[in-house]
Amino acid sequence: MKLHRRRLRLDGRDYTVVTLRPGTPSRFSTNFYHGTWHVLSDWGGARLLGRLLWGLAYQRVPGTVVLIDRPHLDTNPFDAEPADPIALVPALLTPFTHKAARDLRQRLPLRGAPDGTVRWHTHGLDTAVAAQRSQRDRPRGSWQAPWIRPRGFTERVDRIGGLVTLTATPDLLEEHAVDVSTLGDSAFHGMDYTELNWPNGEVQVFRDYRERVSAAAVARREILSEAEPAAEPAAEPAAERNAGAKAGTQAGAKALAKPESKARAKTGARAGTRAEANLEAEAGAGADANPRGPSRLDPYALNRLIWDRGTEVRRRRLPAQTSRPRTNA
C-alpha cells in the first residue's frame, strides 16, 4: 500500500506526516456521542484503518504521524455535522503535544505535492486476523491464554488541538489493528463496532455508511429549509457542546440544593408561568404569519430532527415493493 509523506515543522520539532493518496476510495467521519469519540466508516474503511494501525506499530522513524483528512472525510452520518481530522500516533516514538496538533490543524488541508511516497508494509496482519477468527470456532471451555492487565501508559483517545487523536503503544496498535480489521464479521443490523481506550473511543462501521452520509446531508438541508435562515446554530465543537450541557445540568442541580433557592423557586415559578403564557400567546398569534417553522432551533433538538429525518430519507429511497396478486388454490 502506497501513502504520501510530508515533512512538517510543528511545535519546534520535525514530523513525518503520512497521508492517504487522493485516489484512495475509503471515506471516514467522526462524532462525539455519549462521552465517546467515534471514528465512523464502512467495511472497506475498517480494513484500511486496520492496515494503517498495524503498519504504524512497526514504524522506526521518530515523529511519524498518520493523518486522515479531506478529501477522505465526510460529514457524519447522523446529523451531517463536519468531521474532525483523525491522527494516529505511536506513543513510544512520537511526542504529539497540543501545540503540535494545533499547528498541524492550522495547515490543513495539506496542499501541493508531497515530499515523497512510502510503501506501507503490513506483513503479518492477515495471519493475525486469521488467527483471531479461528479462535471463535474453538470448542467451548477450551484453554486460552490469560489476559494480563498492562501497566503504565498504553493508549489515549481524545480531541487534541482540533484533531481526534489515537495514541497507543505498539502492542495496542497491533491489537486494535486486528479488531478493526475484523469489523463486520459479527455485524448486527448492518452495524459493528470495537472499543478504543473505552469509554473514550470507538470505531463504528455501517454496511450502508455512504447512504447514511448522503441521507443525513439531505435531511439537514430539508430541516433548515423549513425554518428561518437564523435557525441554524453557530458551529461549535461536539465536545464543547456536550461539556456545556453537562456543566449546565450540574449547575442547575447545585442551585436547587441551596435552601435560599427554594424560596426563589416559588417566586420564579409564578413569574415563569406568566412568561410561558405570554410566550404561548405570542407563538399562537405568529403561527399563521410564519408557517415555515420555529425561528430558533436548539442545537440538540436540531440534531435529533436531522437524525429522524435522515431515517425518513433512507426509507423514501427504498425501492417500491410490488405486491403479488393472490391466486386461488
The CATH number of residue 186's host domain is 3.30.1360.230
Residue showing cell 489476559: 147
The predicted model gives 302-325 an average pLDDT of 84
Is the domain of 14 the same as that of 162? yes
Asked if the structure places residue 133 within a domain, the reply is: no
Q: Is pLDDT of 248 > 70? A: no
pTM reported for the whole predicted model: 0.76
Domain assignment present for residue 134? The answer is no
Give the end of a domain, one of 206, 233, 252: 206
Q: Is residue 88 part of a domain?
A: yes
Q: Which three cell numbers stand for residue 76?
A: 457524519
The number of domains in the chain is 2
Question: Which pLDDT tens digit goes with each residue over 155-175?
Answer: 999 999 999 999 999 999 999
Residue 323 domain flag: no
Task: Give percent of the chain with pLDDT exceeding 70.
Answer: 75
For the ranges 183-192, 233-242, 260-269, which has the lowest average pLDDT?
260-269
Same domain, 196 and 50: yes
**Range of the structural domain that residue 244 is part of:** 213-274+295-314
What integer is the mean pLDDT of 188-193? 95
83 and 198 inside one domain: yes
Residue 324 counted as domain residue: no
Question: pLDDT value at position 194?
Answer: 96
Does position 277 have pLDDT exceeding 60, yes or no?
no
Question: How far is Cα 42 from Cα 212, in angstroms, rounded to an integer?
Answer: 11
Asked if residue 24 and residue 163 are part of one domain, the reply reads yes
Whether residue 73 is found in the same domain as residue 196: yes
End-to-end CA distance of the chain: 60
So what's the pLDDT on residue 152?
A: 73
pLDDT computed for residue 302 by the predictor? 86
Q: Are residues 259 and 168 in the same domain?
A: no
Half-sphere exposure of 263 (CA within 13 A, CB side): 2
Instruction: Count the neighbouring beta carbons within 10 Å of the beta carbon of residue 78.
Output: 20
Q: What is the pLDDT of residue 10?
A: 96
Cα distance between residue 3 and residue 51, in whole Å: 12
- Identify the residue with better confidence: 242 or 211: 211
61 and 187 assigned to the same domain: yes
* CA 90-95-101 angle, 5° bins: 95
| Residue of 83, 104, 43, 244 lying closest to 164 (CA atoms) | 83
Residue 286 falls inside a structural domain: no
> Residue 254 domain-assigned?
yes
Q: How confident is the model at residue 142 (pLDDT cuts 50, 70, 90)?
A: confident
* CA-to-CA dists, residue 59 to 8, 16, 42, 206, 259, angstroms: 18, 11, 26, 30, 60
Instruction: Name the pLDDT band for 255 (thresholds 50, 70, 90).
Output: very low
Q: Which residue has the cell 494545533?
A: 102
Q: Identify whether residues 172 and 248 lie together within a single domain.
A: no
**Are residues 249 and 217 part of one domain?**
yes
Is the sign of the CA dihedral 5, 21, 160, 60 positive or negative? negative
Cα 178 from Cα 203, distance rounded (Å): 12
Q: Are residues 75 and 22 in the same domain?
A: yes
Q: Is residue 15 part of a domain?
A: yes
| Mean pLDDT, all residues of the chain | 82
Q: Are residues 186 and 221 in the same domain?
A: no
pLDDT tens-digit map of 74-88:
999 999 999 999 999
DSSP per residue, 253-321: HHHHHSHHHHHHHHHHHHHHHHHHHHHHHHHHHHHTT-TT--S---HHHHHHHHHHHHHHHHHHHSPPP
Verify that 182 and 250 share a domain, yes or no: no
Number of other CB atoms surrounding residue 50 within 10 Å:
23
